[in-house]
Amino acid sequence: MIILLLLCWVGLAVAGAPGGPPRPDRVIMPPQTYAPRAYDSGRLDVPEGAKMVWVILDRTKFMNQNARVRVTIEAQVGGQWFVIKRTGQTRGGAIVRPDKSPQTESVTFVSLPTGTDLVRTTVEVSQSAGTFGVVVRFTP
Amino acid sequence: MMTCVLLFISLLVSSIAHAAVTVDAVMVSGGSGDFGDDSFTHMVATDANFLAVCTTTHGGSGDNNTIDGVTSNGNGLTPLVAAQSLGSLGFAHLWYQLAPSVGANDIVVDVAADPWYVNVAISFKGVVQSAPTNTQSAEGGGDVLELTITSDTDELVLDCMHIATGGGEDPIASPGSGQAQQWDAGHDTLWTVGSTMDGASPSATPDWTFGFGSTYWSHVAVSLEPMSVMGRRRVPVIWR
């Protein structure tokens, strides 16, 4: 079996803070550009006040049941990169939740260590997964 | 004569200072259960000597909300106290390890099946190097929270709560008086909050209020004893 390993760097521009005073928590800051495929690469500046980074896969377009996807999140602290989170593998295709509703997203998130300057997110795909979206977002 | 001896011993013992228990670092990690086990890095300072991990799960199918184990750099943590919400919808567990490795600790939470989870590693300084003895758990629903844990004035109480929110709403949980909120995170139907507070004699009561009604919750706590400056377990209260 030929396994294609795609290292997909998700580099999404981080815009300015949303208008108006944000709530002290829960506000997604700021809205991120939606990527139709996980293929990009980049280092993300950490918005001021951000304490957590999220990676969200849109499962509604993640059609290949044979595909396996793993997410790795790295942080740069004091000029050095290190892995702060590495997920297990999720598979493509539909997932039905215990309440019988479809699971539309696969979500993973982690705190940013104190002093994190940059974040790098990698999505590994075992084989062509079809089109699926990836969103990276920061929260306070 | 006996009174003098007791007084002397009391003065001697009271001269042994006790280091305060303080928080070193907190790391929060979470995700949907389809990703499988949760693996994240927690940095531990050189003078930290106690690692606690709070695991919270929700939304799995019944007993599939359970956690099979937690390791740090491959070494298993010891389960300390657990609470299970009504209907087995979610769990809150506390695990601990004495003298964790300094620097990067690779925390792996072995998720039994498919729950959504939020896991928190929190390291401490100045904790006596023996198994914690004062723990407590509570389960309930609605806004009525009550958890009273045996403690003492020089201890530090850590509490961790799993909250089920039904439709993914933020429960907007606020800690009670004297509690320092250490984390507040969640997604979908699972949220978790945690705090530390100074211990009190004979007990402490970590408490939370919700700005948005929760459905079910499970709450666990531990009171951490300080180590003396000499590194020994503190002496009984009667001698202080």
Question: Could A84 and B41 be called an inter-chain contact, meaning their C-beta atoms sit closer than 8 Å?
Answer: yes
Taking the C-alpha atoms of residue A134 and residue B5, their distance in angstroms, rounded to an integer, is 72
Which chain A residues have a beta carbon less than 8 Å from that of B36?
87-90
Give me the amino acid identity at B208.
W
- Nearest residue on chain B to A110, alpha-carbon basis: B29
Distance to chain B for A13, nearest Cα, Å:
23
Q: Are A128 and A67 in contact (CB under 8 A)?
A: yes
User: Which residue of A77, A97, A124, A139 is the best one to mutate when testing the B interface, meaning the one whose CB has the most B CBs within 10 A?
Assistant: A97
pLDDT tens track, chain B, 240 positions: 455 555 445 544 444 556 699 999 999 999 988 888 899 999 999 999 999 999 998 876 555 677 889 999 999 999 999 998 877 778 899 999 999 999 999 999 998 777 789 999 999 999 999 999 999 998 887 666 779 999 999 999 999 999 887 666 778 888 999 999 999 988 877 889 999 999 999 999 999 988 776 568 899 999 999 997 554 455 544 443
Phi, psi of A13 (to 5 degrees): -65, 140
pLDDT for the residue numbered B60: 60
- How many Cβ atoms from other residues are within 10 Å of residue B87's Cβ? 11
Window A:54-113, CB contacts with B under 8 Å: 71, 82-91, 95, 97-98, 103, 105-111, 113
- Residue A22 φ then ψ, to 5°: -75, 155
ipTM of the complex: 0.83
Interface check for B90 against chain A (CB to CB < 8 A): the answer is no
pLDDT for A84 = 96
In angstroms, what separates the C-alpha of A25 from chain B's closest C-alpha? Answer: 9
Q: Where are the beta strands (DSSP E) in chain A?
A: 6-9, 44-45, 52-58, 68-77, 80-86, 90-91, 105-111, 116-125, 133-139
Task: Write the CA distances from B128 to B125, B136, B203, integer angstroms.
Answer: 9, 19, 19
